[in-house]
Structure formats: C-alpha cells, structure tokens
Structure 1
Amino acid sequence: MTTKIRIVIRSFEKKFLENPFGGLPRYTRQIGLPESRVKYTVLRSPHIDKKSREQFEMERKKQLLVIKTETHELRKKFFRLKRQRIFGAQYSIKFACKTRSDKGKPLMTL
C-alpha cells in the first residue's frame, strides 16, 4: 500500500523553497501555490507633510511537496523529515493513506 506525505512550506524568501530538506527523495512532486502580497503605507512624519509617505510590502511564498512512499517506510521518512530544519520557513506535514477497504472512498487525512 502506498501513503502520500503532503508538506506545505511557507517562506518570505524564494531561496528556501528551491531546495528544501537538502535534496528531495524519489517520487516527489513539487507544486507551486499562489503567493500572497500585503502592502503597507506609513506616514514618514505624523505632524507635518502628510504627502510624505513610505511604502512597504510583505510577500509570502508557498509550495506543496507530495511524496509517495510505502507504508512500512513511513516511520523512517517521518523521523528524517521531523529532524531536518528549514530555517526561515514554516512547514506542516500531513499524511494520507488508502487501505483495502477504502477502494471506492476518497483519501483520509491522518
């Protein structure tokens, strides 16, 4: 039986998404998710010159990794993923597996 490991990585810089985890295992699919951008406008001086303003923006990039693995290898891969760190990025890990009795049903997330 195969199990899918889904990892969503969020970062402010693109370099963290290019090669996460120092090399991806076999049977890995990378899917780019939409970026979000927030813009802020701040007055430079609160007392005079309201026309004088500064603008800042914050971009957040996302990527989805889908790793297919066998069920008996799941513990090893999860332990390896849990120990690796991506500094400057957040990530969440979800597992989905299909059993023999679930042939006609959609995948369940654990």
Structure 2
Amino acid sequence: MEKIRFKLKAYDHRVLDRTVASIVEAVKRTGSEIRGPVPLPTKKRRYTVLRSPHINKDSREQFEIRVHVRIIDIISATPETVDSLARLDLAPEVDVEVRSLGK
C-alpha cells in the first residue's frame, strides 16, 4: 500500500475534467481510497504583440493562455489499482505527472 499523487495540466478544462473522471472511476472500481480532484488556481500567461513592428506602436494585440491544474491523491494504492491506471487511455492534450509519496 502506497500513496500516489497525480498532477494533471491542460489548456482545455473540459478535456481535463473528462480525464480526471476516468482516473477516479478506475480507482474506485479497484476499491482504493482517493482524495480529490483538487482544482488548483488557473495560471494565466498574457502576451502583448505589436501588430505592425515598424510603425504604430499604439496598435497592439493581446493573447492569453490559461493552464488548468488538478491534483488527485490515491491513499491506499494496491497492485490492482496500479495495473488499472496503467491500462487507461488518457487524452494526449493532458500532461500527467505521477509521483509516489511512499508509505
């Protein structure tokens, strides 16, 4: 029995929530205890770009990228839980970090 932490990041919150739901369903099917998903604050990166690089400094465009983050903790992971998580087919848009927190 060990603790496992998943940190999921994505630009689209709908895809992220679907991925989180599939992980939670797989963990609950094996009977392990789960905490989360915990939504962390959304990080917003803003960029300002000149529309014309040589003239009109007053004419600019602004862009924004939002990164949504969720954390899931599996408290009592069994080998069956790890096998079911390894077989999951997750969305390619979601970045998943898996960390073992020990016993």
TM-score, normalization by structure 2? 0.76
Structure 2: runs of 5 or more not aligned: none
More helix by share: 2
Structure number with greater Rg is: 1
User: Which of 87, 91, 98 in structure 2 is aligned with 1:93?
Assistant: 98
- Residue pairs, 1:1-110, within 5 angstroms: 2-20=1-19, 23=22, 24=24, 25-26=27-28, 27-28=33-34, 29-81=36-88, 84-98=89-103
Identity of aligned residues (%): 29
Q: Is the 8 A contact 2:4 2:77 kept in 1?
A: no
Cα distance change, pair 72–50 in 1 and its aligned pair in 2 (3 A) = closer
- With CA pairs under 8 Å and 6+ residues apart, which has the higher RCO, 1 or 2? 2
Distance in 1 (CA, whole Å) between partners of 2:12 and 2:82 is 30
TM-score, normalization by structure 1? 0.72
RMSD: 2.0
Structure 1: runs of 5 or more not aligned: 99-110
Q: Report the count of equivalent residues.
A: 95
Distance in 1 (CA, whole Å) between partners of 2:58 and 2:14 is 36
Cα distance change, pair 5–80 in 1 and its aligned pair in 2 (3 A) = farther
